[in-house]
Amino acid sequence: MALSVGDTACTTGLSGAIYTQMQAQAVNMGGLGSDANVKALCYALANAIIPFLTANAVITCTVGASQGGLQISAAVGVATAAPGAPQNITGVLS
């Protein structure tokens, strides 16, 4: 899933998810104020969070020595053997 800020109407992306949760929790929060202000807040939060995550997050997936068959060899069409020692696969969020 690609990270998406969403739109200013808070119908898509992270802004939409934040808005939906705020609406669901409005009773517990004692009300939210004007809808326009809530949407502006949700969009601002999403617009700060997504760039922060994409600039700073690092992902590391460790493939254990006993975990084979993670990919298919193009040469022979069968699963590859497990690595001899754990291997880290790293990447970034986008």
Whether 90 and 74 share a structural domain? yes
Whole-angstrom distance, CA of residue 62 vs CA of residue 8:
38
d(CA 55, CA 29): 32
Phi and psi, residue 41, nearest 5°: -65, -45
- The residue-averaged pLDDT of 35-61 equals 91
**pLDDT at res. 79:** 65
Total domain count for the chain? Answer: 2
- Same structural domain, 28 and 50: yes
Residue 22: give the domain boundaries. Answer: 13-56
- Answer whether residue 50 is part of any domain: yes
- What residue type is assigned to position 51 of the chain? P
Instruction: Look at residue 50 in the predicted model and tell me its pLDDT.
Output: 93
**34 occurs within a structural domain:** yes
Residue-wise pLDDT tens digits, 56-83: 888 877 766 666 555 666 676 666 666 6
Strand partners, 58: 92
Is residue 4 in a domain? no
Three-state secondary-structure class, residue 24: helix
Please tell me whether residues 69 and 38 are part of one structural domain: no
Predicted local confidence at residue 73, as pLDDT: 63
Is residue 3 one of the residues assigned to a domain? no
CA 70/CA 66 separation, integer angstroms: 11
Q: Which sign, positive or negative, has the C-alpha torsion 60, 65, 70, 72? A: positive
Is 0.75 topped by the overall pTM? no
Per-residue model confidence as pLDDT tens digits over 22-32 = 999 888 877 78
